[in-house]
Structure 1
Amino acid sequence: MRKFIDIKLQMNVLVKYLIFLYLVFSTGFMFGQQRNDAVNQEKRFTVRGAVIESDTYKPIPDVNIEVSGGAYTTTDALGEFRIEAKKGDELTIRHKDFETVYYTIKSSERIKVEVQPNKMDEYKSKLFKSRGSVQIFKSLIDSAEVYLKKDAKKSIQFIADALKNSRSVKENSEAYEVLGDVYLYWKQYDLAVSNYRISIQNRANNTVKIKLAKAYQLNKNYQESLATYNDIDKTELSNWELVTLYEGLGDVHQNTKTFNAAIDAYTEGLNVAKKHLISPKVTDLNSKIAQVYDAKGESQKAKGYFNESLKLAKTQNKKRGIEEKIKVADFQNNLSDYSSEIELRKQALEDINEIETDSVFDNESALTPQKQNYKIGNAYALQKDFGQAISYLEKSIEEADDKEDLIVQKDATRKLSEVYRDAGEFDKALVAYQQYVDLVDKVYSKKEQEISQAARFSKDIVNKQNRILSLESDRALSESKYQLNIEQARRQKLIIYSLIGGVILLLVTAFLMFNYIKQQRLANNLLALKTLRSQMNPHFIFNALNSVNSFIASNDERTANKYLTDFSLLMRAVLENSEEDFIPLEKEIELLELYTKLEHFRFKDKFDYSITVDENIDVNDFVIPPMLLQPYIENAVWHGLRYKKTKGHLNISIAQTKPDEIKITITDDGIGRQKSKALKTKNQQKQNSKGMGNIKKRVSILNAMYKDKVDVSVTDFQDEDDTGTKVIVTLKKD
């Protein structure tokens, strides 16, 4: 009997496990397997091609050729290249003298890329009549540097103003250098390249050349970056600049996977840094050499350099020490040395908690508690220590939720589901996986918003750059007029290149606009809802202000002040709620009372009113779109009760018809819709139709977003001479 029970228990566990696998992983695994099989079946082949000028058919050497899968090469002296790829890969063709070309590989056919070069003439500004003092220029540049990391638009505007006050090529060069710094920080690498080049054309400077080479590297113009670094005269550099140059060369070689050259460059920089006691660079370069050896698969050499960098980092500031601990922990994870990884991450976590109050880490930083707790939990999971893994993953999820880090929260939740599964707790695994699915939806929504914001930001940045280039062109033209006989040929070339640049900028702007519009379509419902929600009938505002004016004109200042106070309270409440889709019913009732009070104050002789709320309704349980009822009350007063010969009555009642539903009824015994329509002018009918149309659109969008939450019906109130109007708004609870 005992044996039978044991077998039964084992069968129950097995059934739960199979159900969990079926519900959670089978579909995704099968899809992933099919996809992997399909990919594996695809054959890689050698793609041959050439890049030439479209007008002269001259080959273009040193063009960056990159495949989306990771392969990289360059064109030779004949402009030809060969690269390994497969069908469907995207080929990216980059060079400093033409716009980046993207091509999707369809077969192993030979590719011929014809481009229109956009070579820049050597441009060098000459001294022109001063438009401002040196102090003004320096002040504007200082302001631009202050806002560089805070507000890109402000910083660029300060630079534009500084250029207007520039008196020399040296100041021009400085202004464009700072402009390049702005674009580099905000990851607009192509614009950073353009402005560093203009800075160098005004005045050659090794510091700016190093920055230009770095910008080329970040923009993936690797050959241009190498050429710029190698073109710098090393004998003219300071020790710090020399170390930075070697470090930059190493970074480029590492990006292009020429690891031996990367190690050589890093080692040269390390020797200079050691010789001149540049401690921060000694630490950085040891760490980078370790990373290259790790990429090469030489783990023992990597370990030696990491140990050195970790030891050196401890002598520097706390933040640098934490960064190195995390890098070494990642390395130990690659080596499957999970115990050492866990120990280092725990130390880093303690250090992070110590400096977190004094330092601000955004969610992109590796120095966040949620990321380290997630990685510690992952390491424990790999060691099969499920209890510790669950504890740290739950901490990670809690901290990520508190700091709105959806990416880490999503990853940690999925890992938690896997740990529960491996631990045999299938019910908890299923719950965690469902939470993971919900988080994936949130992450997708957030990414859409970020894409939309990035498109708007890029559009603004390009427009500002366009204005700066236009400013520079105008100034160059003015100087050309001043020296017409000497500079006539140069002026004509400048005009031509300015036009070409303007066309290119217009094309870029059009491309960004197209992307922006494409992304904006995804948010049309939200934008439309926001627009409709923020509208309040302009007739009410206009007439309310007229009422205040009439009170003041009749020297009734007390009444005017009282009316204006109530009106300002209403407007403030409306503005506070303008960003919300729904507000508590209690707030809406307060707004209605205030609004109706103002209308009654103006038309005391036309109607009385009452607002009745069912005692059984818990107003905190229901929410309602803000100012949804106001237009119906306004219609009742202005188009019904105002024209009534006798004094009318407006009644607003709120009653609960079902546990999850309330009914809001607005009735008036005014002249009714038909008579009111007959009295209106064509313009009034048009305005009223537009106002009611906005309400219908708003209700329609809300119902589409919140599953038929609001229902509105409008009918006649009674069968008498003054038929009145009855509006019923049905509101459902979430």
Structure 2
Amino acid sequence: MKYLKHILCIFFLVFATIAIAQQSRTEKVPFTVKGEVIEDETNKPIAKVNVEIVGGEYTTTDDLGRFSILAKEGDQIVISSDDFQTVYYDVEEDDFIKIRVEAPENEISKFKKVASNRDAKSAFTSYIDSAKITLKKNATQSIGYVTTALEVVPKKEITNTENSIAFETLGDINLFWKQSDLAIGNYKRSLTFSPRVDVQIKLADAYRQNNKYQESIELYTVLLKERLSNYQKVIVYEGLGDNYKQTNVPVKSIFNYQKALDLATANKITPKITDLNSKIGEAYALGGSLVEAEEYFGNSLTLSKKENRKRSVEEKNKVADFYNQKKDYNKEIELRSEALEEINYLEDDDEEPLDNNSPLTPQRQNYKIANAFLGLEKYDEAIPFLEKSINEAESKSDLVVEKDATRKLSEVYRDIGDFDKATESYERYVEVIDELYVKKEQEISQASRLSRDIALQQNRISSLESEREINESRYKLAFENQELIEKNNTIQKWIIGSLVLIALLLLAMAYNQYKGVRQQKYANNILALKSLRTQMNPHFIFNALNSVNSFIAQSDERAANKYLSEFSQLMRSVLENSEEDFIPLEKEIELLELYVKLEHFRFQDKFEYTIEVDNEIPLNEFVIPPMLLQPYVENAVWHGLRYKEEKGLLTIHFQKIDTETVQISIIDNGIGREKSKALKTENQKKQKSKGMGNIKKRIAILNEMYKDKVDVTVSDVFDTKEGTQVVLTLKKD
């Protein structure tokens, strides 16, 4: 009977409190709020700004930026425009308010200025990147960037890939802001431009989030037949597991999660290994297999500790929920206490502050720890955690948790018989409900406005596409008109074309005539070269035959045969190369070695010789006219070394100058050009040197035909004008 009285007393107090709260709400008298909206930097008034009371009146600013609106204390005024970021103002009294606003760093206008001075393709990429950066902060602004990206690239220049990327980004924005129906439409639009696998995976996930599980499962199944990367296969199997878990088919869910886990483990995709162990644990728990679930949750806890602190906290919270389901409250309390300590570290590390909707906030963890103690019927241990939860929630304006914790605290005090504190807590609970009601109205209004803004942006993009199609039609019409104009000008073009053609024919005839002259000259040069190539120096042939005759007269048949054999070999090689303009330098060196050997055979007591070839010369890459060097060597032997009293020396050196040039030096230490000329008989002076004459003509013709291919200089070796040096420079091409 005593308890019944207390209960009746509590109910009386509760109803009285509710009545007082409702009366206090109804007693709020509306009044007129006046104010102005000005630009922060310039102090210029802004006209036609939307001014709205959440759930109430609406007006706009006049040309002076002024407004007046009916409001009550505690109302929230929303000041919004496309030109600046939305401002929220809480009404406290009827004083004149001044709202200073600023554009969101004028990002879009800055990009437009940049785009005018930069390639449209680069601007498109910049806008898309900006959309991705602002995706999680401001949906309207992010969609605005995508819209601008589509506007900066002309219809004729935009590619299917760019269109696909733009609509994929829109889908990403929609999916993040829980608008899965819009995300599905945009992902489908993206796929019409480019059927990319990664977009199909996103579409399947959007289906799942929109509760279209069969469409999601079907698309994921089709994707398994495509060529996927290992990571994509993991995502697809995980997506199938998510669908089956949400449709309460734990066996198939576990099967697909396990497939994904095997792939992630084999390919060392570490973050997914942790996630999949956790999800398998959830699926086992869903199917009632708590032992298996605990095993996998143990794995996920161990793995999450190797990642960052936030991931570890998330996993501890998830496993604590599992222990709560098992009613193993002691393990739940242990895990939540660890998580709570790590959450405090996260806040101390200046991490991004946790959203009140996150399950990882201190107020939620304290509240859940209190519930676990209540599950163990440890009321005294639960009360401090409920009080901590209320204080944390109040400091962070988390009215939802504050409401639940206050109500729970009232119930605990009631259960332990402390009715005064129960009543006090319940009164606070009623106040929080009242505040939460107002806040929810504001959130609903803001969500409605966000949805409206996003819908407007989406319609703008659709209008942009329609406008592009209209412009394309206009372009086709203009093109057809242009064709008509071109047909009217056809006769004029034919006349002009005919005149141009006649002029071109005349030019062609003149060019052919010029070309014919050049070809004739070239043919004459070729004939001249062939004629010169077939002529061997008569002195050499005559002297060679005399040498053979001399060997025979001396009954030295063996020497005669050897000399004649090598002479015939030289003659055969000369005849074989007589039709060639050029031969490899290696072959010319062989001919020269054979020739010098014959001359040395005849004049062994007159000179020695050396032939040095630089090893760095790629002999097969350089070519030379055949028997070009022989006349110079013959001159050195017959006119320099043969008349020397002591034994002379003939040096032939092939040296690489660079990759394109070889220098050939023929040096003798004979009597020199002046003494040799003085020794000539009158008959010899009258005769012209056929060898040197031919070689000069050949070099002149070759240089004319092949642009200075061969360069020859002749000089004395010593200051006494004895010795002769011939330097021949040969170019590769």
Structure label with greater radius of gyration = 2
Q: Under a length normalisation based on structure 2, what TM-score does the superposition of the two structures give?
A: 0.49
Query: Greater relative contact order (Cα 8 A, min sep 6): structure 1 or 2?
Result: 2
**TM-score if structure 1 supplies the norm length?**
0.49
